[in-house]
Amino acid sequence: MNNDIWLVAGIGAGVVSIAASLLYYAWVAGQDPGGEKAARIALWIREGASTYLKLLYTTLLVVAVILGLVIAVVFSGDSTRPLHGIFTALAFGFGSFCSALAGWLGMSIAVRANVRTATACSRSIGAGFTVAFKAGAVMGLAMVGVAVLGMSLIYLLWHDVEIILGFSFGASSLALLAKAGGGIFTKTADIAADLVGKVEIGIPEDDPRNPAVIADNVGDNVGDVAGMGADIFDSYVAATVAAMLLGASFAATGGAQYVVLPLILCILGIASSIIGLQFVKVGPDGKPGRALNFGTVFSCFVFAILATAFFGGVNWAAGTTVFNWGALIATVAGLGIGVLMGFTTDYFTNDEHNPVREVARVSGSGTGLTIITGFSYGLVSIAPAVVGIVAATLVSYFTAQAFGLPGIYGVGIAAVGMLSLTGIVVSNDAYGPIVDNAKGIAEMSGMDHEVVDRADVLDSAGNTAKAITKGFSISAAALTVLAMFAAYTEVIAKYSGGKGLLLDLQDPLVLSGILLGCIVPPLFSALLMLAVTKNAFAMIAEIRRQFAADPGILAGTSTPDYKTCVAIASSGALLALAFPAALAVLLPLAVGFILGPGGLGGFLGGSIFTGVVFALLMSNAGGLWDNAKKYIESGNCGGPGSEAHKAAVVGDTVGDPFKDTAGPSLNTLITVMSLVASLFAPIIARFHIF
């Protein structure tokens, strides 16, 4: 069978997904944008987001040009493939562009959907939900569409998986800037707005008198729409490319169909997501959280059925086993465990369960206990997630092996299975900041309190969806980098004359690599969180200055200067990002060229292990502290203004950069480092000091 047909199908699926995304875009844009006051606030948010995106994409362009030139020069040294460097550089640029395009589409609709969702909430919860969810689907479908279109197109053009690595590296570079930069932006604004607005002045959340309130709302979009979207896009592409690389490594014996199987699974995932999206509906006063979860679980079943039908259909039509059934079992195992782990995260961060309630309860005895208890539950939360990753790894590895496939290919395909529903998962995730903004706009524009209440119900469901997505994305990233790690060893073996890479713990180079790798995630986290505190400090000074300079702001007779706060958050985020981002790219190269392939292998292993642990700890502890505060605010353990509430506010402030800046950025960090290693593996295999 000519596998090019699947690549053409991939391009077709990508186009269909993008077209569906644009249809949703047009539908959302056609909804009622609300009254003048709400529209004015939405415009401020849109302008703020636009300011940040321009800065981000300008920075990205500079980074892409520099890295593209480096790739073009470095990879042109191979006389057998003189144009390989240029093609890889082009793929790199195309990957960056695709990720940026998906992010821009998602952001563009999110900052229009917020006010439309608020306006729709004046009719019913269901109406507000539909607008927000369809807007989220724009991001979800655009993302998987451009990813599958890009990967299929590049492989169709060159039939070289290593060139697709360039595409993946391009996507990851943008993801690193978007996720970490968005994380710094959003928490700079959030913390500064809260510390001055709520704590010092005593004004409520989302109050238009707060000069940082627009920056805070912009931050929701750049952090949780563009940032989280880019992060999952990066994992999605990296997982697919890693599985394709692993497929290519045994294509000579197993068949070339295993190279394109990951792309086929992506196509089925797109179809499942589009079908699933049609069934996500909320009645006039229904439960939005239930609708979101139903959509995800339903899409899982659709995907499993489609994948089984595909394997069965192709094998039956061919009269032989074209696609090994072991790959299907590994795929479904990855998918099931991915969803399960998302819900595990929910246990630790949802106020219906013991961890959040326990943190709220002990908060009455002071901040110390809030921090200790929340941090401890964050540590506990690592265990089930890691056990899940282990289970997915072992099940997929041994199942694939039992069916005659390389075990590591099973792991790679399990990661693809886990990420196959990215379309609907990202839709759920992008829904969160849209409804968060909608609630803010409803409050700031003085809409009826029933509208605010409905937006609040949507927002609560969005918070849960965000927590589930974070658990999902960390787990997916972990499995992806395990596959990417295997891909790295394959590339090293290929360019070392077939000599496999053996990572011996008694080898000082490997051990040194592991230790160096272990320190990168905590170092990266610290740099990002210090950037948040530094920028927040600058913004706090600006908010205080504005309140002191114009008493009319607090009296409600003057409009604050929102733009200055947005500018502080934007420039501060991107400036602060330069050093940690450079570390992510340069450290693996330095380790590789000095310690050699074994040292770099150890380095990747160390960074993956601590990266996963830190990402889970920080995301879950942060989410837990946030929801403990919300639990108290909803009238428990003393309610607002109580000692428990004051302690919980401190816990939430500590947890903010944990869960929205450092934690999720670690996914991208470990993916970028794995991609840099895999991409440069052919050169490192030949040139290294030790």
Report the interhelical angle of 36-74 vs 213-221 (nearest 10°).
50
Minimum separation from the CB atom of position 535 to another protein (A):
23
CB atoms within 10 A of CB 593: 17
The CA dihedral of 152, 158, 164, 169, to the nearest 10 degrees, is -120
Q: Which of 343, 495, 638, 683 binds another protein (CB under 8 A)?
A: 638
Binding map of another protein across residues 361-400, x = CB under 8 A, - = no contact: ---x------------------------------------
Report the alpha-carbon distance of residue 528 to residue 186 in Å, rounded.
12
Percentage helix, strand, coil for the chain under 3-state DSSP, each rounded to 5: 85, 0, 15
In terms of CB distance, is 196 or 581 closer to another protein?
Answer: 196
Report the alpha-carbon distance of residue 227 to residue 230 in Å, rounded.
5
In terms of CB distance, is 200 or 504 closer to another protein?
Answer: 200
In terms of CB distance, is 194 or 346 closer to another protein?
Answer: 194
In terms of CB distance, is 421 or 553 closer to another protein?
Answer: 553
Site membership for another protein, residue 204 (CB under 8 A) = yes
Q: Which of 352, 639, 686, 687 binds another protein (CB under 8 A)?
A: 639
Minimum separation from the CB atom of position 201 to another protein (A):
6
CB atoms within 10 A of CB 76: 17
Minimum separation from the CB atom of position 641 to another protein (A):
4
Burial of 573 (0-12, 13-18, 19+ CB in 10 A): buried
Contact 408, 394 (CB under 8 A): no
Site membership for another protein, residue 551 (CB under 8 A) = yes
Minimum separation from the CB atom of position 364 to another protein (A):
8
* Sign for the pseudo-dihedral over CA of 227, 672, 393, 418: positive
Give the residue from 551, 530, 569, 493 showing the smallest Cα distance to 188: 569
Task: Go through the chain and tell me how many residues it has.
Answer: 690
In terms of CB distance, is 127 or 543 closer to another protein?
Answer: 543
Site membership for another protein, residue 631 (CB under 8 A) = no
∠ CA 147-151-152 to the nearest 5 degrees? 115
Binding map of another protein across residues 206-225, x = CB under 8 A, - = no contact: -x-x----------------
Contacts with another protein in 253-282 (CB under 8 A)? none
Sole window of 249-257, 300-308, 326-334, 629-637 interacting with another protein (rule: CB under 8 A)? 629-637
In terms of CB distance, is 470 or 645 closer to another protein?
Answer: 645
Minimum separation from the CB atom of position 128 to another protein (A):
19
- φ/ψ of residue 503, rounded to 5: -95, 100
Contacts with another protein in 554-573 (CB under 8 A)? 554-555
Contacts with another protein in 424-483 (CB under 8 A)? 443, 446, 449, 452
Residue with tokens 């997982």: 239
Report the alpha-carbon distance of residue 185 to residue 219 in Å, rounded.
6
In terms of CB distance, is 283 or 639 closer to another protein?
Answer: 639
Query: By the criterion CB under 8 A, which residues form the site for another protein?
Result: 198, 200-204, 207, 209, 364, 443, 446, 449, 452, 547-548, 551, 554-555, 635-643, 645
